[in-house]
Structures are given as structure tokens and as C-alpha cells.
Amino acid sequence: MRWIVLAGLAFFLALFALTTFAPADADIEAQARTHFSTTDIERGREFSFQRRLLFWTGTFLQLAVLAGIVFSGLARKLADSCLTWTRGRWLLAVLLVGAVCYLAEEAVALPVALARLENLRAWGMTRRSTSDWLLERCLSHGLSAVAEGIVLVGLYLLMRCVPRAWPVLAALGGMAVGVVFALILPIWIAPLFNTFTPLEKTEWGYLREPVAELARRGGVPVDEILVMDASRQGSHTNAYFTGFGGTRRIVLYDTLLRQHMKAKDWREVEVILAHEMGHWQHDHIVTGIMIGGVAALAGFCLLSWILQRLVGRPPLRLTSPHDPAGVPLLMLLVVVGTWLAAPVGNAISRHFERQADLVSLEMTRNPEIFIDAEIRLARDNISNVTPNRWSILFMATHPPAVERIRMAEDGKKSSEAGR
Ligand SMILES: [Zn+2]
């Protein structure tokens, strides 16, 4: 068992060191220098370095808490106590063990999260008060605790009732949960945190017609473009495509519109909107849920094998695979598994982003404006425009800014050659 802990520690230490300290590849560095000033590059590096240190502190603390509970034998004692408190009510004990671990994780995560907020303030990325931030954190954690509780109950019921086929059923159930979540996220959950106003009712209402025209050209039936009051949380600029079936919509941050609209020239917003329409055209949310289902099936099969092997063995001495003492291990394996699968997951996500970029370039046929928008996005969000290959592999859901710029330049060259 000791070697498992040591291997895990070595893996995460290596990951931390490589993603944080390795230098960027020479071509990314050279590309960045042609589009960004030295100040922009240095600022982005410094900001991302500080964020990285805080992020890894949080990750190591979370791993230490969960691994400590699992490997010290505490998980066994905790499960036995919960079974005693609940007078042997097994499902309640499962939930209780999960709740204790969740609270233990939050106890170590909160100070780091506060430091991250302070860091954002220091960089002028937010001016929100701590009490406002704390209120929002309570709400989001309350919601995720409820969601995770439901998932945990479903999973353990399946493990107990269908001991052989549960991984398949759980993966199918996971996909159904994904669909429901995608469906309700924009209409029930997101509005708890922000106000969403139809574009036509905002100060940018005059964009309604050009946006409708763009949607017609892209062949996407967009009937809702919403503006989110992201300025409530900070100055981060973004746009996203969300929802499922009838709840599909495109959301633009008010911060994005303020930064990218120059007088009434909307061309930078146009390329960003067209990118979101690209996600719509390619049905990325549906594809994402299906790929997630396949990944979940592999993960559940592995989990089933591990839980079976641990029956009667230290440190958990499970009485059965669905013993509540396995819950902390399940939580730990989710974290570790997510990191192990990150290179594949991120590569798929970056592929989706490239597809959406291509749609945007084809729809708007204005690579110069696309490049301007990319540069502004990176600058406004103090992005690290010279990420190293390890941080791209394990942490980047989007291609580096310079890669997206290069794609626009390549498109420009080939269209000029075709003329
Ligand atoms: Zn995108």
C-alpha cells in the first residue's frame, strides 16, 4: 500500500513542478513576441504563476485530506460510527460519510479560495466584497452538495441492487444526469448567480438584427442571445454556449461587450459570437455528454474492480463493495482519475474549440478582426500567452492564444493564395 501512496505523491509533485516551472516551447515564445508586448507576456506569466501556486496548494490539501482519511484507517472508523449513529441505516450512513468528507475538504479549501479572491483583487480583476463572494460560495456549494448527494445515493443503490451490471447502468444514469443538468443549468441554476437580459433589451439592442443575420448565415436557430451581468463578479470577459434542446442559448458577458465594442463597430463581438455558434453547429454539448458517458463507464468498471479487491483488506476492510467506508476512496479516485484522464479530456475540448474557431473564421471571413479579438481577450484576462507543453496537456481546455492566432493567419494566407 505504501508504494501506491508514494507513486501518487510522485505523480502529483511531478505534475506540479512541470506545469508550473517548465519553460514554454521556443515557437510559442517567438509567436507570442510578435503579437504581444513584453509587458503583456510578463504580466500574464506572473499572474498565471501566482494562480498556479494557489491552485496547487488547494489541490494538494484536498488530496492530503482524502488520502489521509482513506489510508490512515479513519474511513473504516468513520463508516462504523456513522452506521452506529444511523442505527444501521446503510444509505443514510453512505450520505453521512460523504457529507463529513465534503466538509473536511471544504475546511481546507476555504482559506485557499479566500487567498485566490485576494489575489484577484490585487490584480484588479475584481472589486467584490468578501461577504458577497462568501454568500455565492455557500449557494454554489449547497447546490453541488445536493447534486453530489443524489449521485452518491444513486450509485450506491445500483452497487447494492445490481452488483454485476452496475457500472453500465451507472454510466447510462450519468449520461441522463448530464442531459438533465445541461437542460436546467441555463434556466434554473445560472439565474441564481447572475441576471440574464435578452440582448435586445440592453444598451446593445441595436445588435439584434446583425446577430439574427449572422445566425441565419450560420444555420443555427438561435432565438436567445443573453447578456449576463458578469461585472458583478469581476472584470473577466467571456462568452459561452449553454443548454440542451429547447434551453440552448448563447450568453455574452457584459464585460466582453464593453471591452470589444468600439463605438458601434461590432466585428470583434461578431467573431466571438460566431465561435459560440460553431459550438452549436457541431452539437458539442451532446457530443461532450456522450464522450463523458464512455469515460464514466471505464471509470466505473475500474472502481468496481478496486472495491471488490478491497473487501476484507486493509486499510478499509470493506464488508462489501457498497460498504460506506468506500465513500472517501471513491471521492479520492474521482480526483485522481480526473487528473489521469485530463490529457484526453483536454485534447477533446481543444479540438472542439478549434472546430468552433474554424466556423467563426469561415462565417465572418475577417481573420484580422479574429486576431484582434484574441489579443484583446488574452490581454483583458491577463492570460499566460506562453504556456508550457505540460500545462497545455494537463490543464488547457482551449488552445493557446498564439495557436488560435496562427490558425487565423493560415486561413488568411490560403484565402489570399486562392484569390
Ligand atoms: Zn469555445
CATH number, domain of 217, equals 3.30.2010.10
Q: What is the Å distance from ligand 1's center to 166 Cα?
A: 34
pLDDT tens-digit readout, 133-179: 999 999 999 999 999 999 999 999 999 999 999 999 999 999 999 99
Q: What is the Å distance from ligand 1's center to 232 Cα?
A: 22
pLDDT band at 367 (very low <50, low <70, confident <90, very high): very high
Q: What angle do CA 315, 317, 323 make, to 5 degrees?
A: 120
Evaluate whether residue 227 is within a structural domain: yes
Closest CA to 225 of 244, 255, 202: 202
Q: What is the Å distance from ligand 1's center to 356 Cα?
A: 6
Evaluate whether residue 212 is within a structural domain: yes
Q: What is the Å distance from ligand 1's center to 238 Cα?
A: 10
pLDDT tens-digit readout, 77-114: 999 999 999 999 999 999 999 999 999 999 999 999 99
Q: What is the Å distance from ligand 1's center to 362 Cα?
A: 15
Q: Where are the alpha helices (DSSP H) in 162-283?
A: 166-184, 208-218, 254-260, 267-281
pLDDT tens-digit readout, 188-213: 999 999 999 999 999 999 998 999 89
Q: Are 412 and 50 in contact (CB under 8 A)?
A: no
Alpha carbons 154 and 162: distance in angstroms, whole number: 12
Q: What is the Å distance from ligand 1's center to 239 Cα?
A: 8
Domain hosting residue 244, numbered range: 196-281
What's the pLDDT at 264?
Answer: 84
| CB < 8 Å & 24+ apart, contacts of 71-75 | 71/1, 71/5, 71/315, 72/315, 73/314, 73/315, 75/315, 75/316, 75/325, 75/326, 75/327, 75/328, 75/329
Q: Where are the alpha helices (DSSP H) in 123-228?
A: 130-161, 166-184, 208-218
User: For all residues of the chain together, what is the average pLDDT?
Assistant: 95
**Domains: count for the chain:** 1
414 pLDDT higher than 90 = no
Q: What is the Å distance from ligand 1's center to 296 Cα?
A: 23
- What's 289-307 look like in SS3? HHHHHHHHHHHHHHHHHHH
DSSP-based three-state secondary structure for 252: strand
Q: What is the Å distance from ligand 1's center to 276 Cα?
A: 6
Q: Cα separations (Å) of 160 from 240, 302, 327?
A: 40, 17, 14
Q: What is the Å distance from ligand 1's center to 273 Cα?
A: 10
Q: What is the Å distance from ligand 1's center to 78 Cα?
A: 43
Phi, psi of 265 (to 5 degrees): -80, 110
Q: Are 239 and 276 in contact (CB under 8 A)?
A: yes
258 or 223, greater pLDDT: 258
Q: What is the Å distance from ligand 1's center to 26 Cα?
A: 26
Q: What is the Å distance from ligand 1's center to 268 Cα?
A: 15
| Distance, CA of 41 to chain centre | 24
The predicted model gives 9-34 an average pLDDT of 97
Q: What is the Å distance from ligand 1's center to 398 Cα?
A: 7
Evaluate whether residue 122 is within a structural domain: no
- Can you give the pTM of this predicted structure? 0.93
pLDDT band at 348 (very low <50, low <70, confident <90, very high): very high
Evaluate whether residue 22 is within a structural domain: no
The predicted model gives 240-255 an average pLDDT of 93
What's the pLDDT at 419?
Answer: 58
* 370 grid coordinates: 479574429
Alpha carbons 174 and 150: distance in angstroms, whole number: 11
Q: What is the Å distance from ligand 1's center to 412 Cα?
A: 21
Q: What is the Å distance from ligand 1's center to 240 Cα?
A: 7
Q: Are 382 and 123 in contact (CB under 8 A)?
A: yes
ω into residue 210 within 30 of 0, thus cis? no
Alpha carbons 281 and 317: distance in angstroms, whole number: 50
What's the pLDDT at 418?
Answer: 62
Q: What is the Å distance from ligand 1's center to 123 Cα?
A: 25
**DSSP class of residue 162?**
S
Q: What is the Å distance from ligand 1's center to 62 Cα?
A: 29
User: For residues 33-70, b (16+ Cβ closer than 10 Å) or e, as one string?
Assistant: eebbeeebbebbbebbeebbebbbbbbbbbbebbbebb
DSSP-based three-state secondary structure for 64: helix
* Beta-sheet pairing, 249-253 with 225-228: parallel
The predicted model gives 268-282 an average pLDDT of 95
Radius of gyration of the chain (CA): 23
What's the pLDDT at 366?
Answer: 94
Q: In a 10 Å sphere around its CB, with 0-12 CB exposed, 13-18 middle and 19+ buried, how is residue 299 labelled?
A: buried
Evaluate whether residue 51 is within a structural domain: no
Q: What is the Å distance from ligand 1's center to 349 Cα?
A: 9
Q: What is the Å distance from ligand 1's center to 248 Cα?
A: 15
Evaluate whether residue 156 is within a structural domain: no
**DSSP class of residue 189?**
I
Evaluate whether residue 113 is within a structural domain: no
Q: What is the Å distance from ligand 1's center to 225 Cα?
A: 15
* 21 grid coordinates: 516551472
Evaluate whether residue 344 is within a structural domain: no
pLDDT band at 406 (very low <50, low <70, confident <90, very high): very high
Q: What is the Å distance from ligand 1's center to 142 Cα?
A: 28
Q: In a 10 Å sphere around its CB, with 0-12 CB exposed, 13-18 middle and 19+ buried, how is residue 230 labelled?
A: buried
Q: Are 299 and 337 in contact (CB under 8 A)?
A: yes
